[in-house]
Structures are given as C-alpha cells and as structure tokens.
C-alpha cells in the first residue's frame, strides 16, 4: 500500500473558516449596498412628495400677507437648497413704445428650490406637476415641479411664470373698465443652515402692486430667458394690474 498524506484538521478548519469569512464579507458588502440603494431611493421618492406639498404650501401662503408654513426634508443622502435663478420674469407692455412693467426693480433676484438626490439614486426626467408654460390660468398651478438629470438627479421647483386673468369688468363710478390681472410669486432667499432632517419655512413678506392704463389694442410680452409669449389686450377702458407676492424661503 502506498502512503497517503492527510491534511491536518487544523489547516482544514482554517481554510473552511477563511472561505466562510470571505463569503460573509462579500454578502455583507452586497447587502449593505442594496440597503443603501433602497434607502436613497426611498428618501428621493419621499422628497418628491414633500416637494409637491411644499409647492401647494407656497401657493397657499402667497394668498395672504404674513402667512407662514413649513415642511421637513430628510438629508441623509440628498440635500435641499435655494439657488438664484439665471433667468428672470420680464413683462413688457407694447403700445407703440415699450414699457417695462415687471420686475418692479431690475435689481430683484429670482430663486428656485432644488433637492439633490443621493449619488446612488436612479431616476428618469419627468414632470411632477405644472408646466413650463410662461402663462397659466386660474385652474393651473404657478409652481412647476419636475425631475431633471444634470450632474446628478434633482427635484426642481420654480415659479418663473405668471397667472393672467383677462376680461374682468371693474366698475369705478359709472365707468366699466376692462381689467387684466397678472399675479407673480417671487421667491426670496432667507437664512439657510442645518443638516440631517431640516425644516423649510416659507413666509409671505407682502404684496407689491402696480397699475397701468394701456391704450386699446396693446400687447403684453412675457419673457423668461429665451422663451417668450405674447397676449393682445382688446376692448376699451383697459386697466392692467400687476401683483407680486414675495415669499421668503428659509432652511434650518
């Protein structure tokens, strides 16, 4: 009979233990990554819901001076911020010459709210509510919430559009005026701080209104960036009223 050498029980135990340890480490790494991915996706989906609610809150607060409300956002993997917009709302009244009716001051800044998804979040670009149209009616929201992909995944809320209501009869004494009303929500930067779960507070800082009496057949041009839309004002005794609600947004 040939001599046969056997592997030592100690060596066998070490090999088996090492193999099991490697398998355990790999399984732990994979499960942790899957968990982090699910947590990031869950947080991002919750941020979508919260941004939609924040949009409704801002539009409600915009109706009453000094009104305020708040909404909480989790920043475990993502983060919310307020960013100055590169675009502004510009409204021009054209009646032979051009009159700039909005913004009321060229130094006014416009801000947008953006939530950055975590690095593990995967999503497609989509509109959540509202539209990019520059002019909306009474039944449409002024806020436009969507998901965009640009060096990461973002949920964006902006108010770069106007609500226009035309052909409203305004009686002053014995004279009926043909009133066109324009309503704008402009976001203002408040204080920002905090990490983890933060509270986004919005407050109506007041209204500013200016009134114009355009000639018959005047044209309104609403422009944001390179996009523009025009509206023709018809009828006699025209009145144009532009109202801005200033909403301060703070994060703490």
pLDDT at 1: 46
pLDDT at 28: 65
pTM: 0.83
3-state secondary structure 9-43: HHHHHHHHHHHHHHHHHHHHHHHHHHHHHHHHHHH
Residue pointed to by tokens 């989509």: 126
pLDDT at 169: 79
Domain boundaries of the chain, sorted by first residue: 36-251
Contact indicator for 68, 76 with CB cutoff of 8 Å: no
CA 101, 209, 189 angle in degrees (round to 5)? Answer: 90
The one-digit pLDDT tens for each residue of the chain (252 residues) are 455 555 567 676 777 777 777 877 777 666 666 556 676 788 999 999 999 999 999 999 999 999 999 999 988 888 999 999 999 999 999 988 899 999 999 999 999 999 999 887 888 899 999 999 999 998 899 999 999 998 899 999 999 999 999 877 777 778 888 899 999 999 999 999 877 899 999 999 999 999 999 887 789 999 999 999 999 988 888 999 999 999 999 999
pLDDT at 3: 54
Torsion sign, CA atoms 100, 102, 107, 113: negative
pLDDT at 40: 73
pLDDT at 61: 97
Candidates 142, 161, 166; CA nearest to 227 is 161
Contact indicator for 83, 187 with CB cutoff of 8 Å: no
Which residues have C-beta within 8 Å of that of residue 151, sequence separation ≥ 6? Answer: none
| Beta strands in the chain, from DSSP E residues, in sequence order | 68-73, 79-84, 89-95, 97-102, 111-116, 126-129, 135-136, 144-149, 153-158, 162-172, 175-192, 198-212, 219-224, 227-232, 238-251
């Amino acid at each position: 009979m040939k001599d046969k050498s056997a592997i030592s029980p100690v060596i066998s135990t070490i090999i088996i233990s090492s193999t099991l340890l490697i398998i355990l480490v790999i399984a732990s790494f994979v499960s942790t990554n899957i968990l982090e991915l699910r947590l990031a996706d869950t947080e991002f989906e919750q941020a979508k819901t919260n941004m939609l609610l924040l949009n409704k809150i801002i539009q409600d607060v915009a109706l009453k001076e000094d009104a305020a409300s708040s909404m909480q956002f989790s920043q475990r993997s993502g983060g919310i911020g307020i960013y100055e917009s590169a675009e502004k709302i510009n409204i021009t009244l054209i009646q032979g010459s051009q009159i700039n009716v909005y913004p009321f001051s060229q130094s006014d800044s416009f801000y947008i709210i953006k939530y950055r998804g975590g690095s593990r979040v995967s999503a497609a670009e989509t509109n959540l509510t509202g539209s990019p149209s520059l002019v909306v009616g009474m039944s449409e929201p002024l806020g436009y919430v969507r998901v965009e992909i640009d060096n990461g995944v973002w949920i964006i809320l902006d108010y770069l559009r106007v609500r226009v209501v035309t052909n409203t009869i305004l009686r002053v004494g014995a004279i009926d005026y043909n009133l066109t009303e324009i309503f704008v929500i402009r976001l203002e930067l408040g204080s920002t701080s905090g990490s983890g779960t933060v509270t986004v507070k919005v407050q109506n800082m007041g209204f500013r209104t200016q009134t114009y009496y355009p000639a018959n057949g005047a044209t309104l041009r609403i422009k944001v960036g390179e996009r523009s839309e025009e509206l023709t004002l018809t009828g006699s005794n025209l009145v144009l009223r532009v109202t801005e609600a200033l909403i301060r947004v703070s994060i703490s």
